[in-house]
Amino acid sequence: MTGKAIQIVLASTSIYRKALLEKLGLRFVQVDPNYEELFIHGESPAIRALRLATGKSQTAAMALSPETDRNTIVIGSDQVAHCDDQILSKPGNFDNAYQQLTLSSGKWVTFSTAVCLSRPDGTVIKCFDEEYRLKFRDLSDTLIRDYLELEQPYDCAGSIKAEAHGILLIEDSIGKDINTLYGLPLIRLATALLQIGVTLPSKNLD
């Protein structure tokens, strides 16, 4: 399939999202979106994820050089994990992670992941969101502590790194695309990129 030569910008410094986007065989650059993630009381997790993904995409897009090709696409993404109406953000340390996993024990946790594609002037091309749900095992104190000491998932929403040792904490799952859980719903993203003329995979990768 032949597509346009479109520059792709990932508005994220995340090593996880970089690795995910590389699965599509794209040539892209990463930039810091430099976007302040404000909390809005009463906002649903899915709406929050969409708002933040859009903000990251538009802010990064409008910060690009004026000489940037107008066909450039800026990808912004955000994920919100939630359980019992409580948002489970990146824990940052052992104590917060321990509290999150104690709350999640024996329950379903939903990961709402949103994506927004913007032009260099900040015009939104497409936004969408996907959900992936995990059922946690009944987690003992020992299992939680051993897992956290081994994995140290302090930069992961919900304190779970399911692509690694976190799989030991999971009993069941529901979702169309496992990459949604990891932070970027690649099936829908690939569809969106193909629809706007991006060649997948790139023929000019090093």
Active site residues: 78
Tokens of 98: 């321990």
**Rounded to whole angstroms, how far apart are CA atoms 107 and 160?**
14
Cα of first residue to Cα of last residue in the chain, in angstroms, is: 20
150 Cβ contact partners less than 8 Å away, ≥ 6 residues apart: 165
For residues 160 and 148, give the distance between their C-alpha atoms in angstroms, rounded to a whole number. 9
Segment 41-47 long-range contacts (CB within 8 Å, at least 24 positions apart): 45/80, 45/81, 45/82, 45/87, 45/110, 45/112, 46/80, 46/112, 46/114, 46/129, 46/131
